[in-house]
Structure 1
Amino acid sequence: MDEVPIGRRVAYWRGRRNMSQQVFADRLGKSKSWVDKVERGVRRLDKFSVLHEIADVLRVDVQLLLGKEPERRTDALNCIDQVEVEAIRSALERYESMPAFFVPAPDPPALDEVRKSVRHAWLTLQYARYGVLTRALPKLLRDTQAADAAYRGGDERAQEAAHLLGQVYQIASSTLRKLGEHELAWLAADRSMAVSQRSGDLLLTGVATCRVGNALLALGRPKSALEVNVNVASQLAPNGCRAASAQQLSVYGLLLLQGAMAAARIGDNATVRELFVAAQEAADQLGGDYNHYWTSFGPTNLSLHQAAAAVELGEGGRAVRTDQEIDPDRFNALLPERRAHHLLDLARGFAQIGNMEQAGESLLRGDQLAPSEIRCRPIAHEVMSDVLRRTRGAPSSPIVELAEHMGVGI
């Protein structure tokens, strides 16, 4: 970060705080022209008093502006910080629906535009661009909340607005959980359950259940996570009277996979096997890897979860063997988040069997696919610390560089 001009650092953090040059200038008591010259490097910032004022307005440590932040470099900063967490929290604390019961919104958001934004957010999540997503989520939450409040009455527009809001709560929950904000992740997932039921879409409610289960698991409540996933999966199970749709099989299968992960956390091998057998049947019926309801469910994702469950059970060797049986072409066809997540699980598996070289190599491969999945997740930091601590001799240069990017000390 030292080689980045200070003006560019100011511009970076101003943009991250969603401030225009004019707003930033007003808060500093300066002119827009002054800000523009600073950011372009035309005007020097050589007074510490001014630097401290800028840092206060941007709500960052002044050391970040000086390029001397001791723990993280610019690319690691593309994850999330507490200002952005608070912005998401504030958006989750809004209750737009209450005033709408008394005074209808005069200018509700256009559902077409909201729909496009929600689709883009899903893709951003599945490409593991968490920094981009966390900065977009507060506005997206406000927009979908406003749409849900505006369109009431049970008609198609009301159901679609609820559907879109339910999806955004799910996106928020998944993102927050990955970044270690587990309580907020549970709140967003719980909100998604309630809103999804209003949408009239049973399958959306099923996916929301997965988010609730994931949040409960992250909060250290695996038994509750197992129960909620299995209970709803039983409601969506194919009943034999008619063929289940691909969408139903995908959501049903995802619930089974998440239930298996919760059972693995408990150490319940029998339930893990039972749920994976049922998920295999659903995957076989589906006949391939698809992304219905953003589930990425299919035979390959099933294998990835089997490897992850083995790691949770402390059976790193089995996780490695499972990985070796995955078809490379099918694996490479999965979205980046899924692949990088698996490589993180694989790194944990290699660490369990003492193969620190391969553990580090898996982290490097995951970082090449989706940097935020490795650099931003607390569990990845734990694995990297383990690799650094247990590697015999000096770690390789690529590992040292990645550790620096992650802010993990050697």
Structure 2
Amino acid sequence: MLSDGTPDPFANPLAFGQRLQILRTRRGLSRPVLAGLLGKSPSWLKQVEQGQIHMPKLPTVLRIAELLRVRDLADLTGDQSMHVDLFIGPGHSRLPAVKAAVNAFPLTADRLAPSPAHLQARLARAWAARHEAPNHREVIGELLPDLIRDGQLAVRQAETAADRRAAQACLSEIYSLSQFFVAYQPDSSLLWRVAERGMVAAQDSEDPHAIGVAAWLTAQAHRDSAHFDAADAVTSEALRYLEPLLPDSDDRVLAIAGALQFEAGYTAARRGENGTAWGWWDKAEKTSKKLPASYYHPITSFSRAIMGAHAVTIAVELRAGGESVRQAHKADAIAIPSRPRLARHRIEEARGYQLDGQAETALATLERAYEAASETIRYNGYARRIVLEETESKSPARRRRAAVLATELGLLAA
């Protein structure tokens, strides 16, 4: 038993239905909401939870795991032979070095810190490299340790209040870049450490853009942990702070406000709140139209070009297969200049095609995601779930195609 009096779903001999009910309750999802997202009736879900219906087939189990953000499939099934990480990818070879830099707080130094201007130039090159590289984790993983150490040093050696605020803004952005690297790797405590330090540095900087970016990433961390209320709280507070500044703000601040508006819609969609989700998407689209047509925010990817991809995400999270495909046909993927973001969009398209019953097209779209940025799809739980599901397909051709992709993603032994 746990301290709150609820059974531990990881302790045998709990049945599948009991594990499902406990995990659903912990995620704060009602039975009607989860059933609706699965395309099932609440009575069906109740019968599964009460053991009147046996464990569903693998495709349904994988969809339940996706909705409940179950990281190890065995945690849901209770079958210790089914240890499959869904929403945690493999540990990157550069993770230990990045972690060591985050964890270290040297109090002395035998060198001068670089200036904030120098750090900003390095950050700009790092963001550009991330957008251009298919192996973007490798690229930024190599750059991060020195950036983290130099950012920390710049804050410690700042001589004036203005210098310290500028250095904190740089350090906050370095932590933001770090969060892109750490996300979906097997060290959730490091992810939260990076997110919290990024927010503290941003607040100390008093820079609206830095605060907005830190809030955007913190909200994502909460949402991906199914802490929807916390995600909403961070997003709404950041928007309240930014909105009075928008009439006189530059494009960067306007873009981060638009990105936060979309995040509010994304969280609403994850909750199954159709009207709220599309309402926030509409607000974000209006904000995007205030930006120059060619503008592309280097951290959030917010822009006019990204709104089509965002519409696909909203439709997919609402489990609307037909609408997802319709939005995918409308979206201009070619206009997305970032390889990781393009790969992410392809994955969302694949989710839509699978929801619409177009499994062959979903696999083909995941192959295109792999071509765009292999390190994006390798760490993406949704892509991993679709590939695993298709390895059990009744179609031999689809099974073979999925098996090849599963091997490339490290889900199956080569």
Does TM, normalized by the shorter one, top 0.5?
yes
State the match for 1:89 in structure 2: 99
Q: Which has the higher helix share?
A: 1
1:384 and 1:394, CA in 2 relative to 1: closer, same or farther beyond 3 A? same
State the match for 1:107 in structure 2: 111
What is the CA–CA distance in structure 2 between the aligned matches of 1:181 and 1:323, rounded to whole Å?
A: 33
| 3-state SS of paired residue (1:248) | helix
State the match for 2:409 in structure 1: 406
Determine if the alignment matches structure 1 residue 315 to structure 2 residue 320: yes
Determine if the alignment matches structure 1 residue 191 to structure 2 residue 197: yes
Determine if the alignment matches structure 1 residue 354 to structure 2 residue 360: no
Matches within 5 A, 1:14-163: 81=91, 84-96=94-106, 99=107, 105-111=109-115, 113-127=118-132, 129-155=136-162, 157-163=163-169
TM norm structure 2:
0.71
8 Å contact kept, 1:179–1:378: no
Equivalent residue pairs, number? 322
What is the CA–CA distance in structure 2 between the aligned matches of 1:123 and 1:176, rounded to whole Å?
A: 18
Q: Deviations over 1:148-203 (max 9, x none)?
A: 21224313x32332122111100111221244644322221111111012223111
| 3-state SS of paired residue (2:139) | helix
1:230 and 1:409, CA in 2 relative to 1: closer, same or farther beyond 3 A? same
What is the CA–CA distance in structure 1 between the aligned matches of 2:189 and 2:314, rounded to whole Å?
A: 23
Matched AA of 2:165: Q
For structure 1, list consecutive stretches of 5 or more residues without a partner in the other structure: 1-78
1:243 and 1:119, CA in 2 relative to 1: closer, same or farther beyond 3 A? closer
Q: Mean alpha-carbon deviation: is it higher for 368-377 or for 163-172?
A: 368-377
Determine if the alignment matches structure 1 residue 203 to structure 2 residue 203: no
What is the CA–CA distance in structure 2 between the aligned matches of 1:243 and 1:144, rounded to whole Å?
A: 29
Q: Mean alpha-carbon deviation: is it higher for 373-382 or for 252-261?
A: 373-382
For structure 2, list consecutive stretches of 5 or more residues without a partner in the other structure: 1-88
What is the CA–CA distance in structure 2 between the aligned matches of 1:314 and 1:308, rounded to whole Å?
A: 10
Matched AA of 2:341: R
Q: Deviations over 1:299-328 (max 9, x none)?
A: 221221121121112112211110111235
Matched AA of 2:326: R
Larger radius of gyration: 1
| 3-state SS of paired residue (1:300) | coil
What is the CA–CA distance in structure 2 between the aligned matches of 1:152 and 1:216, rounded to whole Å?
A: 35
TM norm structure 1:
0.71
Flag as ranges the 4+ runs of structure 1 deviating above 6 A.
none
Q: Deviations over 1:194-251 (max 9, x none)?
A: 10122231111111100101111122212211221122113222678x4553222201
| 3-state SS of paired residue (2:219) | helix
| 3-state SS of paired residue (1:408) | coil
State the match for 1:172 in structure 2: 178
RMSD: 2.5
What is the CA–CA distance in structure 2 between the aligned matches of 1:119 and 1:371, rounded to whole Å?
A: 23
Matches within 5 A, 1:206-217: 206-217=212-223
| 3-state SS of paired residue (1:141) | helix
